[in-house]
Structure formats: C-alpha cells, structure tokens
Amino acid sequence: MPSLPFGYHLRSGSGRDRALLVKFMQQTYEELFPDLQDFSHLAQTVERYWSPQTPLWWVVTTAAAPAACAWAGTAVDQVSGDRYTHLFLLYVAADHRRRGIGTLLLAEVLAWARARGDRQVGLQVFADNQPALSLYERLGFRTQSLLMLKPVNDAPDRQ
C-alpha cells in the first residue's frame, strides 16, 4: 500500500461530509467545464447515491483541511452481470497533486473492493482529462466501453 507524504493523513468519510463531497465534485466540474454555471445536479447525485454502502475517503492535511477524496459504490457489469466497485469520484485539489495522493486513494478503493469480493473496479473519466487518464492507465485501468452522446436536436437520426 502506498503511503501519504508527510503532513497528510487518511480518514473515512461519513454522512456529515455530504456538503463537502458536493463541493469537491463541483471543483472537479469547474476545472473541466469552466463555462458551466449550474451545479445543482451534483447535490442531487450525492443525495441519490449516498449510503453507508458507498464509502468515502478523505486525505486531509495536518490542519484538517481536505486535500483529496474518493467516493465508491456499486455497479453491475453489463457483460457478465457481476457486481463490481464503481468509483464515483476521485479528486485531488490542484495544489496537492503529483504527490501520490490519488494513487493512495485508488489503493484504498481497490482494498475495499477486494474485501467485499469484487473482481474489478470501474470508473468514468472524461476523454479530455489527460492527467486522470494517465493515472488510471498507469495503475492498470483499461478502456472496456465508451460512453457516446448525441444531442437530440442535432442532425437527423437516419442518413
């Protein structure tokens, strides 16, 4: 298991951290989509999926300020039908990156998945989030499927 740099420690999250989780989710989207203004759906996502079965881990500084978090839950593999761990969020604040914090959080998620008997961990990452893609690929994640979207008001459906 990787270790955290000096001045950081890991703590488990709880239901009291929902607002902070939403804040971290919003920071992720603000970085990737700076023109996006409405983040109300993120609070709805947390309310919908948060439960005691969706663990949350925080990396905090010695001043107890959160620097990073990971939130996991459950999904079903559409090929095999097996339950697996799904990573809802992995976020490391910009000024705490490239210190091994994301790697440590992923190791925590993998340990949780193993402990409950899951055989894989899945996640969704935006195609243009190169730092995250590089981390996940370096840690052994591979593309299994692609999420493709088309606005319904675009070009005709049939050609």
Domains of the chain, with CATH numbers?
A: 8-138 (3.40.630.30)
Q: Is the pLDDT of residue 41 over 70?
A: yes
Residues near 91 by beta carbon (within 8 Å), at least 6 away in sequence:
24, 25, 27, 28, 68, 69, 70
**Cα-based distances in Å from 37 to 11, 27, 31, 93:** 31, 12, 12, 20
In this structure, the strands spanning 121-123 and 83-92 are parallel
What pLDDT shows up at residue 157?
A: 63
Determine the Cα–Cα distance for residues 115 and 86; give it in Å rounded to an integer: 14
Residues near 110 by beta carbon (within 8 Å), at least 6 away in sequence:
121
Q: 86 - beta bridge partners? A: 73, 122
Q: Work out the pLDDT band at 54, boundaries 50, 70, 90.
A: very high
Chain segment 1-28, per-residue pLDDT in tens: 778 999 999 999 999 999 999 999 999 9
What pLDDT shows up at residue 9?
A: 95
- Helices assigned H by DSSP within the chain: 18-32, 40-49, 101-115, 130-138
Selection from 118, 95, 106 nearest residue 70 by Cα: 106
Q: Is the pLDDT of residue 154 over 90?
A: no
Determine the Cα–Cα distance for residues 66 and 1; give it in Å rounded to an integer: 21
pTM, whole model, 2 decimals?
0.89
